[in-house]
Structure 1
Amino acid sequence: MILNIILALASGLTNVLGRIINSNLANKIGILPGTFYNYLTGLITSALFFMFSSNTLRYSPDKFLGLPVYAYIGGAMGVVVVGISSYITPKISALYATILLFIGQLFAGIIIDYFTLHVLSTGKVVGGVLVLLGLVYNAFVDKMDARTVENS
């Protein structure tokens, strides 16, 4: 149990640190080159872990040719997410970025569950909408506070 908690905290920490590093890299060399180096670093790291792990590919390359086209969309969506995240991160607070990431993952999961399993979780939809409404309300309050400070 404690290992799961440590792994969850480490995952959240690396997520925030990765977003900050990607944002700084995008500011220095541009969003597209920054995203390219992000994926290149991930590819090299993944290849090294795979080479030194005891796992082996159980599928022949022929099996990959038979996969449906949508199976490859995840990589393209990842590029878009990293690019958008690199652009947005310096413009919003870390809290908003994390909540937006959470909301995006939650609704993406709901959509994937609906189209693959034909299941629509009412609790997840209601929870996601409530978190989204809380984010919008908090942003509104922050904007009103900023205006009050400017007028003082």
Structure 2
Amino acid sequence: MMIILAIIGGVLTTLSMVINSSLGKRIGVLQSTLINYIVGLTFSVLVLLVVGSGMKIGFSELKSIPFYMFLGGVIGVSIVYSSNIVIPKIPVVYSTLLLFIGQIVAGILIDFIMMGEIATGKILGAVIMTVGILYNSWIDSKDQNA
């Protein structure tokens, strides 16, 4: 079940990037990023109301959470903003693969920092994927020039 949810999450992430970049082309990158998060906030509030869990976190609990744990929103805005710039300029498949390579590299670094281990298989996989993207990009540009 987790594999299916992860695949659905990947599909929705790619679809979200395409939809947001389309909106960005129409109204502007910053404006579409803002609208994306306003709609997301509205939907989150509606889900909380329907599910009924609400905000059961007090100020003291929020105060005890380390600052860096609140940076997810900042990172999310950065992702949406940069995707809105990149997606219209390169094919979606390349941007998706490049984002995936970035996730693998970040995962490798985080594993190294937190657990002190480096997964050579994952590094090799990231290198192979990067070479594949570069090769495919070279072939595509060669076909366009012909």
Scaled to the shorter chain, the TM-score interval is 0.7 to 0.9
Q: Which residue of 2 aligns with 1:14?
A: 12
> Matches of 2:68 and 2:80 in 1, distance apart?
19
TM-score normalised to structure 1 length? 0.83
Q: Which of residues 55, 60, 63 in structure 1 aligns to 2:61?
A: 63
Residue number in structure 1 paired with 2:22: 24
What TM-score do the two structures reach when normalised by structure 2? 0.86
Cα distance in 2 between the residues matched to 1:66 and 1:104: 31
Task: State the partner residue of 1:82.
Answer: 80
1:46 to 44, 47, 50: 44
What are the superposed Cα offsets for residues 84-137 of structure 1, whole Å, 9 maximum, x if unpaired?
101111111121121112112212222222222333222111111111111111
What is the Cα deviation at residue 26 of structure 1? Answer: 0.7
* Paired letter, 2:28: G
Identity of aligned residues (%): 37
CA distance, structure 1, for counterparts of residue 34 and residue 74 of structure 2: 12
Distance in 2 between the 1:41 and 1:113 partners?
33
Pick the aligned partner of 2:115 from 109, 117, 134.
117
State how many pairs are aligned: 146
Q: What is the 5 A alignment of 1:125-136? A: 125-136=123-134
Q: Distance in 2 between matches of 1:118 and 1:58?
A: 36
Deviations 1:33-58, CA, capped at 9 Å, x for gaps: 11011111111111211222154656
Unpaired runs of at least 5, structure 1: none
Structure 1's consecutive aligned runs of 4 or more residues displaced over 4 angstroms after TM superposition are 56-59
- Are 1:94 and 2:103 matched, yes or no? no
- Report the Cα distance in structure 2 between the residues aligned to 1:29 and 1:94, rounded to whole angstroms: 20
Write the letter of the residue equivalent to 1:84: S
Deviates most, 31-40 or 49-58:
49-58
CA–CA separation in structure 2 for the residues paired with 1:93 and 1:115: 33
Gaps of 5+ in 2: none
User: Which residue in the other structure is 1:146 paired with?
Assistant: 144
